[in-house]
Structure 1
Amino acid sequence: MAGDAYDFTPGAQVPVAGGAGQTAATQALASAAYRDGPVDELLKANSDWATSEVKKPRISLFEPNLGEAFARAVQTRMLGSGRKPLIQSFGLEPQVIVEHCLAANRIRRERDARLTLITVLCGLLFLPGLLLWLGAFQLRRSLAGAQDKRAGAMGTLLMVVLGGLVVLFLVKMPFGGLLGLYLRAMVVVPAIGGLLAKTVCERTAKDLRERWTGLLEGGGVPARIPEAVPRTPGENAAEQLRQNLERISAEQRSNVVFYAGPKGILGMGTRWGSWQLAEELHPAEPGKDIAPFRSWDIVRAVHDRLQLLERTPVNTGGLTPPQVEHWVVVPVGEGAGAVSRPGGTDAAFRISGAQLQEICDKQHFGSGDRHYLGVQFVLWDGQLVITLLVNVTVLHKTLRIEVTGHALGPTHSVFNAKPKSRTKTFRKGLKFWETWTRTLPVVEPREVVRLAARAPLTWYPPLLEYWGGKLVLPEPFGLRHAWADKPWRHRFMADDALRAATPVLRVVHEATLKVLKDHGVDTERFESRAGNLSGAIQDPTPRQADVYNA
């Protein structure tokens, strides 16, 4: 169990305490849980690595907005029972994002509880009137949402006509006594309930928008999830939720990644550059044998040198401290709908020790997983992830040192948009050439109707998703690569990705040549080849290195 190996124990109020350099991307994605607006906006953020879809509603009155669909989909995918393995989200803290989705859903459940009570008191007791109002709004919503503008105008005209008929019905009521009073109340009470519902929706919308804005502005917006804190030993649901949150963090630290053909290594981005040093192994002194060594010996030496990359003889600038990791790359198909980690989905999140060395030393040719030594830089507050991977192989007498560059760009601009106030501009009566602008309420009337209609069904989400549609997340799913953009559109990000390759390549070559010399290998050809690569890499350009043109 995750709870046996990892113990984070989240409190009742979990603050956004992002790791160094990873707060901006984390908070941008977390803010999506609090957003409003159409869910189709998320489709703009689809990347080359993953494509999300929106399942259309059967009844448009029940369709979710962006925040509702995002928070529900992420919570279900990341915490659902029997879920598939996740792709690591480099540059993000996925547990923080999931906690904000839980917090947003909790706020909405509290709002829906109040709306359901209003619906029961003002709607269920006067059900014919409620159905009449809902039918009118649904008809108006369907017609106004049509592509034909005349249909929208027709819907508005129809609502005006229906309103006139209702007023006439109330004034010229054909029935008297208790039946007449009930029929009048049947029309009026649901409207009063609508006003109460508007107050509830307005207060919740302001709270959600404050959290949305606070996250994008870098404020410490807490994610309150008391349901994840077991208060007594018997609270199994809270303990299970706590362990599931821990599992997300444990899986995030996994050193197993997946190579999906032209899509590259999932979570790291496509491979944009590759540099190979390959020469035959000859003894430095004729008549003597080369001292035995393994691929792991070279990898270990390179590992030690890469950890010193931030050091520079000149006191000006320099690289940030790198994250050096041993990666096990598992091949999957380009269109694979799921991945599986070695040892199963719940067991081994990391491969280390003798098993890691065996992969490094023996699996150089044919089927099987491959070992890569990676150095990773997380820059721009988590918006840019630069990964350079080193692979060491020996086939017959040929030693090959391969360095590949991977870059994952910023989260899509959709996640950086702040909430906008609803305004309406009017012309002044006498001074018709002047205008004035009035700020409208955050929640418009048709949104109140939508929320009130959805509220009773939120207690059984599958039924609500059946009628209202949902967001379908891409598989294999990872929060980072699903909505990442390419870094090449941002000049400084592109420069950082290209510049990082040169010092890494030279450090790898220096460490390799030292190991070869210590083991009696003639390094003349290796040094010549390394010099040529060192000169060629000074003018790198991004390429589609994972696309092999036949």
Structure 2
Amino acid sequence: MANDGFDFSPGAQIPLQGAAGAAVATNALASAAYRDSPVDEILKANSEWHKSEVKAGQSKLFKSDYFKPNLGEAFSRAVQERTLGGARGALIQSFGSDPQTVVEHCLSASRLRKARDTKLTVVTALFGFLFLPGMLLWIIVFRLRDGLTRTKDKGLSGLGNALLPIIGIAAVFLLIKMPLNGFLGLYVRAMAVAPVIGWLIAKRIAEASAQDMRVRWEGLLSGGGVVAKIPEAVPKNPSETAREALRQGLEKLSAEQQSNSVFYAGPKGILGMGTRWGSWQLAEDLVSKDPGKEFHQFRSWDLVRVIHDQLKMLERGPLNTGGFPKPSVTHWIVSPVGENAGSVSRPEGEDVATFQVKPHEIQRICNHQQFGGGDRHYLGVQFTLWDGQLVITMMITVTVLFETLRIEVTGHALGPVHSLFTSKPAAKTKTVNKTVKFWETRSITLALVESSEVVRLALRAPFTWYPPLLDYLGGKIALPEPFGLRHAWAEKPWRHRFMADDAMRAATPVLRVVHNAVIKVLDENGVDTERFGNRSSILSGAVQDPTPRKADLYDA
């Protein structure tokens, strides 16, 4: 396979496609790696087409919420495994964001948690495993307390809140009145006290880690320049194969982001670019300008090349009023996949190098693969706006069947990252009645790390050396397939007034540039352009009032 044989060593660096000006979308996705929210929160970000799942642990013996990961833990684990795994499938490009940065933050968050879990493992071993009966008894108490506090019965809920103090007083009483002496008496007394001491130490470690994670979470969403530190991705000598494999995995991720092949998944549109919201077609017969002579022969590629050059001039205008930013104009090879396809595969062979279809193959597909099976050629002009929150892509395809030339322009829009990823950390508070003026309320700040969370972290810590075991015990996130970091959690842009305006305003100038370029080439080759001009005028009038719709859902 050509792609696997490439050494992804950094040579001449190419700017990441869609990475420039995409800080908001990138940082929003990266912030998920540091979050301490419940893992089920990810389900709120599911869209109409792309749905994540939270798979529960399969263990029946150790089935407990204490092994269940939180959102940051599960997200980091799932993204790393999907993007850097040796047996991973093809990824969908993340237009409007930098996927390598997101993955690097997932690695950085995992490294921080690993350092925390190493400390917690020592604490659990010294104060828990050495006094296992006492630790198990305290775990049962915590489980009983959590079960009671979750009930709707206020009496049982109050009993759950008072359970720990009651058990604590009972433990102190037993320590004083216990009839056992000697080593057994000392061990039993230590068995009751050691897990509590271990819990207090673990709480301080967990709180320090939680504060660090929240600072990074807040910093990413505030634009504070949080840097992902992953020294394990920098090999120091040739024998460090794990570091070298990680480095090559990150380079491969960047190379795949640059791929010029995309996938059309029926009603889901082009994966990574969003659904098709509008379509305008210019189709007329090719007739010679001079009745007694034939027009000059030309190919589809001749038209596409001129359109390409004219589209790159979109940022220039007659008035100094801002207008379009510099567009990205790319030749795309579009492969059809099923609407419910579970995976995709990129083109391979001698015509592909490092995920890029070579220019001569692009030209061949443009000229010859216009009807029947096979991939198709599209010319795309893409605008990344709102710091990566909006990606507008206009796709142009040229086909010639018999004597009919058809120029089709379609609009695709990828909306902002789901609001779940843009929410900043908030202090944990609770509203209670005032002690004296009970008819009034006040807000109290709760502990950043709850008691049950300390127990969860301490119990999970010894198992973190082997992540698949934690997946089996506590569950994991199943990412939507085919997977791409950006489109998997994108909202529709039409609920945002200015984003919707930007998407629809781009259609008119792009359409007119395409039509002008086509008419120019036809005129130079002796084709009668009267009908093309009339049809272009009609479309220019219609496109001035575009309405977003599901253009890929045919009412048939």
Tell me the TM-score normalised to structure 1 length.
0.95
Residues 289 and 527, structure 2, Cα contact 8 Å, conserved in 1? yes
Residue aligning to 2:140: 135
Q: Which residue of 2 aligns with 1:409?
A: 415
Structure 2: distance between partners of 1:502 and 1:130: 69
Once the two structures are superposed, residues 188-231 of structure 1 have per-residue CA deviations (whole angstroms, 9 ceiling, x without a partner) of 01100100001101111111000000000011101000000001
Find the aligned partners of 1:255 and 1:266 in 2 and give their Cα distance: 13
| Residue 103 of structure 2: aligned partner | 98
- Counterpart for residue 491 of structure 1: 497
Counterpart-to-counterpart distance in 2, 1:378 and 1:3: 32
Alignment check: 8 A CA contact 2:91 2:484 kept: yes
Distance apart, 1:354 and its partner CA? 1.3
Give the structure 2 partner of residue 118 of structure 1: 123
Name 2:405's counterpart in structure 1.
399
Q: What residue number does 1:107 align with?
A: 112
Q: Which amino acid aligns with 1:7?
A: S
Match of 1:309 among 279, 296, 314: 314
Look up the match of 1:166: 171
Query: Which region of structure 1 is more displaced relative to structure 2, 294-303 or 48-57?
Result: 48-57
Give 1:366 shift: 0.5
Indicate conservation of the 8 Å contact 2:281/2:406, yes or no.
yes
The CA distance in 1 between the partners of 2:276 and 2:554, in whole Å, is 12
SS of equivalent to 2:333: strand
Other-structure match for 1:36: 36
Which residue does 2:56 correspond to in 1?
A: 56
Report % sequence identity: 63
Looking at structure 1, the residues matched to 544 and 220 of structure 2 have their Cα atoms a distance apart, in angstroms, of: 39
Q: In the alignment, does 2:488 pair up with 1:482?
A: yes
What is the letter of the counterpart of residue 114 of structure 1?
Answer: K
The Cα offsets for residues 234-264 of structure 1, whole Å up to 9 and x where unpaired, read as 1111111000000000000001000011111
Shift of 1:507: 0.1
Query: What is the CA-CA distance between 1:56 and the residue it aligns to?
Result: 2.0
1:388 maps onto 2:390 in alignment: no
Q: Which residue of 1 aligns with 2:287?
A: 282
Deviations 1:440-488 (A, max 9, x none): 3311111111100100011111111111011110110000110000000
Paired residue for 1:340, among 324, 342, 345? Answer: 345
1:371-405 alpha-carbon deviations (Å, 9 max, x no partner): 00000000000000000000000000000000000
Residue in structure 2 matching 1:265, options 259, 270, 280: 270
- In 2, the alpha carbon distance for the partners of 1:234 and 1:153 equals 59
Kindly state the Cα deviation for residue 348 of structure 1 after the two structures are TM-superposed.
Answer: 4.5
Q: Distance in 1 between matches of 2:5 and 2:33?
A: 26
Stretches of structure 2 that go unaligned for 5 or more consecutive residues are 58-62
Q: Return the offset for 1:139.
A: 3.1
- Structure 1 equivalent of residue 532 of structure 2: 526
Shift of 1:422: 2.0
SS state at 1:377 partner: strand
Counterpart position of 1:449: 455
The verdict on how the C-alpha distance between 1:94 and 1:261 changes in structure 2, with shifts beyond 3 A counting, is same
- Distance in 1, matches of 2:359 and 2:236, equals 39
Q: Tell me the equivalent position of 1:503.
A: 509
Q: CA deviation at 1:335?
A: 0.5
What SS is found at the alignment partner of 1:385? strand
C-alpha distance 200-258 of structure 1, shift in aligned 2 (>3 A): same
TM-superposed deviation, 1:352: 2.4
Counterpart CA distance in 2 for 1:339 and 1:355 is 20
Q: What's the CA shift for 1:433?
A: 6.4
Corresponding residue for residue 23 of structure 2: 23
1:364 to 366, 370, 379: 370
Pairing 1:419-458 to 2, within 5 Å after superposition: 419-424=425-430, 429=435, 437-458=443-464
Mapped to 2, the partners of 1:38 and 1:56 lie a distance apart of: 13
Structure 1: which amino acid aligns with 2:514?
Answer: V
Amino acid at match of 1:464: L
Structure 1 unaligned spans of 5+: 10-15
- Greater CA drift, 136-145 or 480-489: 136-145
- How far apart in 2 are the matches of 1:69 and 1:430? 44
Equivalences, count? 543
